[in-house]
Amino acid sequence: MSPASDQRPAQNVAPQSGTFRQNLDRTFVVFCIATASVSVAILIVLLTAIFVQGIPSLSWNFLTSPPSPDTTEAGISPALYGTIWVCSACALFTLPIGVGTAILLEEFKPSSRATRVMHGFVQLNITNLAGVPSVVYGIIGLTAFVSMFGMLGSTSDPVFEMGVRYYDQFLSEGDRALLVPVSGRNAPETVVADGLTALLGDQRFKVNVLSENAPLPTDARLQAVTLRSDAEAGRISRKAWYYLQLPFGRGVLAGALTLMLVVLPIVIVSTQEALRGVPDSLREAASGLGATRWQVVWNVTLPASIPGIMTGAILATSRAIGEAAPVLIIAGIVYIASAPGHLMDDYSVMPLQIYNWAQRPQKDFHALAASGIIVLLVILLSFNAVAVFVRQRLQRASS
């Protein structure tokens, strides 16, 4: 038998017809359009329900009033200002640190083997941190920022304070508050004696000291600055807007730094992708003109990557505004009746206030929760609009 007779005919697989592939493509496109349409329809239904329920409760009183058991007087003012404080401080810390870290990892890559290993380790951890649940960051913030690992004393007795004055407050015989300045939180209590000077409002007065059984003066002005010799004081403080203490305590700064940990991986990764998108030819051209590595980064690479960096900032800000779990762990309170006055002050944020209203059984509180969601969406869109505006202006300036 010839060798040709031993060979078996090859089994050729018939190629798919062009019609089948076209039908498959059309089916996939229809599936994608249907999925997107369903998602958009669900979003429209949810937003419509929220607006229908929340619009009637929206008013200027709702934006300027504190929470109240009476739904007709309840407002969202403290949580509104708390959200603005926390998110603004978070962005102030996150953007410089995130952008700087990304520039270091992308533009100043190490040359030695040991530093390359460390570079890869840091890059791996940054990528993995993006998937860590936010409640874990809340526990980290509680340990690191609120108490500072217990190494700097307690939050009730900080080791360092700036921007605060302490007073001993007395109640005069004319029912007026008299303030006597003291040197610090732990200063000895002021003893009532002749020659003591106190503040009544913004003015200083010599205190009129009486014995326990002495009759009161008839002059009302003199009664306002009159104290008994056995009067006792209460220690109070007046804190400026720049007040700072160590440890930070459960204030705005601790919440902002905790949210910074939550969104920092987003900023770093998005900035790295934006830097990688800049053509190497631009770097080589700048280097060929004699520019240093930092001059190349500052004048060429960074301006060209601004749109991508601002996109990451928008995503990070959007997530920070909507976070509730880490803020609940840091703040420790849901109800607060006043807006924060400084970075160490107690605060609440809108997601916590909305949750507080939504979990109540009364329908009126559900309407307040819907109104709060509308305000939260407006703030979110406002932050994003500012970021988009800055991105467009910088993009035009660099082009």
Over residues 26-63, the pLDDT tens digits come to 999 999 999 999 999 999 999 999 999 999 988 899 99
Question: Within this chain, do residues 264 and 218 fall inside the same structural domain, yes or no?
Answer: no
**Which of 217, 246, 275 corresponds to the end of one domain?**
246
Question: Within this chain, do residues 272 and 292 fall inside the same structural domain, yes or no?
Answer: yes
Question: Within this chain, do residues 107 and 227 fall inside the same structural domain, yes or no?
Answer: no
- Asked whether the predicted pLDDT for residue 14 surpasses 60, the reply is no
343 contacts 245 by C-beta, under 8 angstroms: no
Cα gap 270→263, rounded to integer Å: 11
Question: Within this chain, do residues 345 and 296 fall inside the same structural domain, yes or no?
Answer: yes
What would the pLDDT profile of 58-96 be if each residue is shown by its tens digit? 889 999 999 988 888 889 999 999 999 999 999 999 999
pLDDT for the residue 16: 56
Question: Within this chain, do residues 279 and 343 fall inside the same structural domain, yes or no?
Answer: yes
What would the pLDDT profile of 265-306 be if each residue is shown by its tens digit? 999 999 999 999 899 898 889 888 888 889 999 988 988 888
pLDDT range class, residue 139, cuts 50, 70, 90? very high
The number of folded domains in the chain is: 2
pLDDT for the residue 1: 45
Question: Within this chain, do residues 143 and 78 fall inside the same structural domain, yes or no?
Answer: yes
- Asked whether the predicted pLDDT for residue 364 surpasses 60, the reply is yes
In a domain, 13, yes or no: no
**Which of 215, 246, 277 corresponds to the end of one domain?**
246
Domain that holds residue 181: 160-246
In a domain, 3, yes or no: no
In a domain, 54, yes or no: no
Q: Give the range among 94-103, 124-133, 171-180, 374-383 with minimum mean pLDDT.
A: 124-133
Per-chain mean pLDDT for the chain? 86
Residue with the larger pLDDT of the pair 36 and 318: 36
- Asked whether the predicted pLDDT for residue 13 surpasses 60, the reply is no
Question: Within this chain, do residues 260 and 387 fall inside the same structural domain, yes or no?
Answer: yes
Question: Within this chain, do residues 213 and 259 fall inside the same structural domain, yes or no?
Answer: no
pLDDT for the residue 12: 52
Question: Within this chain, do residues 217 and 271 fall inside the same structural domain, yes or no?
Answer: no
**Which of 246, 273, 303 corresponds to the end of one domain?**
246
In a domain, 96, yes or no: yes
